A and B are shown apart, each in its own frame.
Chain A
């Protein structure tokens, strides 16, 4: 197969733009200095230390792309769809900890970003989106490819702005980058009218800075810290709930040493996977709707809950009345609005996770004696282990595929996923030990996230293995991104847990809709291995358990994008499961128990 990795610089667009309504076309600049608004945008990205961009060209954003022409040091990855650009930037943000940048043109380009921005917003992932806009004079006239992008994206961005002035457009981009990065991270957007990008300016942007009026909290109130530690010292059944904010706040090491010093069991949320090593004896795994039985029992029975960097999402808490009913809750978060939003915080500790954990540590005189609690937790781990039918069973079990993929890849391998059953199996049956190795769509639950996210993750960490678990339905939503992985020769392994159905929906229909499988069984899906080959990637197929290890090894060793179409048991469901709004202590381990819970 001829699939050479051609790292071509972005070529100039010679076709006429779809709508050239701009008054003047600036001469392409040869020099490094800022001559146009678009140059200022690029200079702002450079000042922010941006290395990689993900985007799709188009009329209104062309001046910005043209300015990029002279900047080989900025690596632009041409995506196949703007949704993929946003997801790739999102994953890039998760892996590097700094904003991933995506670009799109006005109108459909911008609206295609919307799902990705909403996703980043729900998960507080740092993303900077730059969108082209019709020239200022045409704004409001329903011009060709005009969409009110700032209006549409306002509720799903941390902040957005409409650039009006070429002299300040660079700073607007810098500010947006800084806002995406600082405090509680999130997506930001700058809408760039074409005339502003083309207009002359020599105004060099400053290094990125948040506005003076933006000051995220750092330290928690000392009085609350003391009250919380007094309560903690007196507890007998404490649990730490580590959320995604632990990772975003670079507080994993701090949390680990804190938990180990006081020997407090640690439960993670789904975005918190990797914040605490799952092979540590104190780890109780992930909690929530499809969390481990022992994690959920620990939450349900604890008398003190230290939640760090979590927003107590409903998929985690189940019904709020039955969530940690006996616990006093100490809540550490950088966003004051998370305090008592979903779960009442007895001890609101607003501040930077790492700093607040320091404060707590300093204030604790003696930790509680938890010998009995550890025994109870251990008993739960032994009573409710994660189990599935033996790997040699026919048909193939998805859990076994995930476990084997974990076994044949290095420790620090990054996992990305789509949304559905496969995502839950990837949570439960892969052992996460390091932060920023779990990249998924949590709050929005966006099918199709996995493949573009794998692209973003690989660009962010070219030396690290990237494995993407996808469902057949979810992968079909963004499969066009495979062309990007091939063009960029990205060494990623996509494992399709193929049940020829949108399995998670089928599972809910089995559980809650009397098995009426409306619009959930495909009956026919493409041959993903041959489809992969058509794209220029390597395709593999697995039907038997005995082939799993060898095939996954071959796919992982293949130097380039590989797609493994693993045909799994179409009947397999995800357990444990707490029904929506249920009591975390009452989880089902199989279909019959789920019926019993209804």
Chain B
């Protein structure tokens, strides 16, 4: 079953699928076709505020085996809509797929990857109440708030990005952390750039759009 003599240019002279192309299909010299190194992507999805949407989106992630770091959901100024902020850690082709698979679900109105985002997470930490002054000092240092203080435990709140929250938790460790809860990221696009919007439903983003977004941040 040999391939026999084939017409045309020899294999090494042919254009092959290897190598990056622009969305116009033009080869880009010296770039690998797909980067399989996982990276973190913050996605914002505007969805219909109706029952079952959260299950639909989280189900999508589990059944397609996408690695989800955090998912938050909440109301928007429009009662009928909710915004989800989803942080995934995946390879580039998978992030492309995540966006397209998300956009494909009917209640999902628009999906954006936020390359430049203002993003915040909130943590509530309950620590032992033995050294209230020291605890307060740390809370002040991280611009946090004391939510509840008693003789045996103190509960504080910190907001910030991931590093800041990690650092704060580390700092509280010395007092003995009884329990804590983190919310996961909420995010909006920085500056003039819109976050996912109704006015530009990308129920069916063209491949060119999807690619431009990812290429831009490499």
Interface residues of A (CB under 8 A from B): 150-151, 154-155, 158-159, 161-162, 179, 183, 211-217, 220-221, 223-224, 226-228, 231, 235-237, 293, 297, 300-301, 303, 326-329, 335-337, 339-341, 344-348, 350, 372-373, 376, 379, 585-587
Q: A154-B59, A335-B104 are in contact. Are A348 and B17 (CB under 8 A)?
A: no
Give A297 to B207 CA distance when docked, in angstroms: 30
Contacting A213 at CB < 8 Å: which of B23, B203, B205? B203
C-alpha spacing A337/B208, complex, angstroms: 12
From A211, A350, A376, A586, give the contact of B207 (CB < 8 A). A350
Interface string of B163-205 (1 = CB under 8 A from A): 0000000000000000000000000000000000010010111
- Contacts A159-B106, A337-B104, A372-B7: A350 and B201 contacting too (C-beta < 8 A)? no
Instruction: Tell which of B8, B93, B201, B208 touches A237, judged by Cβ atoms closer than 8 Å.
Output: B8
B14 touches A217 (CB 8 A): no
Q: Let me know if B4 is at the binding interface, CB within 8 A.
A: yes
A340 x B14 contact (CB < 8 A): no
Contact at A326–B26, with CB atoms within 8 Å? Answer: no
The 8 nearest A-B residue pairs measured at CB: A348-B207, A227-B25, A236-B8, A372-B7, A337-B100, A159-B106, A217-B204, A223-B24
Set B3, B24, B63, B96: member contacting A297, Cβ < 8 A = B3
- The interface centre, meaning the residue of B55, B204, B207 with most chain A CB atoms within 10 A of its CB, is B207
- A344–B17 CB distance below 8 A: yes
Q: Are A301 and B203 in contact (CB under 8 A)?
A: no
In the complex, what residue of chain A is closest to B50 when comparing beta carbons? A161
Sample (20) of A-B pairs whose CB atoms are under 8 Å apart? A155-B59, A159-B105, A159-B106, A221-B23, A223-B208, A224-B24, A231-B25, A236-B9, A300-B3, A326-B11, A336-B207, A336-B210, A337-B101, A337-B103, A340-B96, A341-B97, A345-B207, A372-B8, A585-B1, A587-B1
B1-44: contact bitstring with A at CB < 8 Å (1 yes, 0 no)? 10110111101001111000101111000000110000000000
For B206-218 the 0/1 string (1 means CB < 8 A from A) is 1110100000000
Residues of A within 8 A of B21 (CB): 346
- B200 to chain A minimum Cβ distance, whole angstroms, is 11
CB-defined interface of B53-78 with A at 8 Å, one 1/0 digit per residue? 00110010001000000000000000
B204 → chain A closest CB, angstroms: 4
Taking a contact as CB atoms under 8 Å apart, the answer to whether B1 and A221 are in contact is: no
The smallest beta-carbon distance between A296 and chain B, in angstroms, is 10
**A345: chain B residues within 8 A (beta carbon):** 207
Q: How far is the CA of A510 from the CA of B17 in the complex (A)?
A: 37
A to B contact number (C-beta, < 8 Å): 123
Say if the beta carbon of B150 comes within 8 Å of chain A. no
Cβ-closest chain A residue relative to B98: A337
Residues on A with C-beta less than 8 A from B55 are 151, 154
Beta-carbon contacts under 8 Å, B100-138 to A: 100-101, 103-107, 109
Contact, CB under 8 Å: A213 / B52? no
Closest Cβ–Cβ distance, residue A589 to chain B (whole Å)? 9
B51 in the interface (beta carbon within 8 A): yes
Most B CB contacts (10 A, CB to CB) among A303, A337, A344 go to A337
Question: Knowing A217-B204, A224-B208 touch, does A585 contact B104 (C-beta < 8 A)?
Answer: no
Q: Name A333's closest neighbour in chain B (CB-CB).
A: B207
Distance (whole angstroms) from the CB of A45 to the closest CB of chain B:
20
Name the one of A155, A217, A344 contacting B33, with C-beta atoms under 8 angstroms: A344
Contacts of B208 in A (CB 8 A): 221, 223-224, 348
Beta-carbon contact of B17 and A346 below 8 Å: yes
Chain B residues within an 8 Å CB radius of A293: 1
Q: Which residues of A contact B106 (CB under 8 A)?
A: 158-159, 179, 211, 214
| B6 with A237: CB separation less than 8 A | yes
> Chain B: how many interface residues by the 8 Å CB criterion?
46
In whole angstroms, what is the CA distance A340 to B1 when docked? 29
Complex CA–CA separation, A585 to B6 (angstroms): 14
The residue from B3, B7, B96, B103 contacting A236, defined by CB atoms under 8 A apart: B7
Distance A212 CA – B198 CA, assembled complex (angstroms): 10
Task: Tell me whether B25 and A346 are in contact (CB under 8 A).
Answer: yes
Given A155-B59, A224-B207, A231-B15, the answer on whether A376 and B7 have CB atoms closer than 8 Å is yes
Q: A224-B25, A586-B1 known; A214 and B203 CB under 8 Å?
A: yes
Are the CB atoms of A326 and B7 closer together than 8 Å? no
Closest chain A residue to B110, Cβ basis? A213
Of A228, A344, A346, most buried by chain B (CB within 10 Å of CB) is A346
Given contacts A212-B201, A337-B100, 4 further A-B contacts (CB under 8 A): A155-B63, A159-B107, A336-B210, A346-B21
CB <8 Å contact, B4 and A303: no
State the Cβ distance, B65 to closest chain A Cβ, in Å: 13
A223 to B207 Cα, complex, angstroms = 12
CB nearest neighbor in B for A235: B8
Q: Which residues in B have their C-beta under 8 angstroms from that of A344? A: 17, 33-34
CA distance A155 to B106 in the complex (A): 12
Minimum C-beta distance from A174 to chain B (A)? 14
Which residue on chain B has the smallest CB distance to residue A183? Answer: B204
Q: Whole-angstrom distance from the CB of B26 to the nearest CB of chain A? A: 6
> Who on chain B is nearest to A337 by CB?
B100
- For the complex, what is the distance from the CA of A155 to the CA of B100, rounded to whole Å? 16
The reply to whether A329 and B96 form a contact with Cβ atoms under 8 Å apart is: no
User: A220 vs B209: C-alpha distance in the bound complex, in angstroms?
Assistant: 12
CB distance from B214 to the nearest CB of A (A): 11
Per-residue A-contact encoding for B137-177, CB less than 8 Å = 1, 0 else: 00000000000000000000000000000000000000000
Docked CA distance A536–B1 (Å): 51
A221 and B11 in contact, given A155-B63, A162-B52, A344-B34 (Cβ under 8 angstroms): no
The verdict on A227 contacting B24 (CB below 8 Å), with A162-B52, A179-B106, A214-B203 known, is yes
Residues on B with C-beta less than 8 A from A346 are: 17, 21, 25
B56 neighbours in A (Cβ, 8 Å): 154
By the criterion CB–CB under 8 Å, are A162 and B51 in contact?
A: yes
Cβ–Cβ contact A216 & B204, under 8 A: yes
Which residues in A have their C-beta under 8 angstroms from that of B15? 231, 328
- Chain B residues near A328 (CB, 8 Å)? 15-17
**Assembly CA distance A513 to B36 (angstroms):** 35
Please, how many angstroms separate the alpha-carbon atoms of A158 and B105 in the complex?
7
Of chain B, the residue at the smallest CB distance from A217 is: B204
Residues of B within 8 A of A161 (CB): 52
Is A213's CB under 8 angstroms from B8's CB? no
Q: How far is the CA of A329 from the CA of B201 in the complex (A)?
A: 28
B residues less than 8 Å from A212 (CB atoms): 201
Smallest CB gap from B108: residue in A: A213
How far apart are the CA atoms of A154 and B106 in the complex, in Å?
12
Q: Are B4 and A376 in contact (CB under 8 A)?
A: yes
Residue of A nearest to B2 (CB): A585
Cβ 8 A contact of A350, one of B4, B7, B206: B206
Is the beta-carbon distance between B25 and A215 smaller than 8 angstroms?
Answer: no
Contacts known (A214-B106, A376-B6); A221 close to B206, Cβ less than 8 A: yes
* A339 CA / B73 CA spacing, docked (Å): 28
Distance between Cα atoms of A379 and B3 in the complex (Å): 11
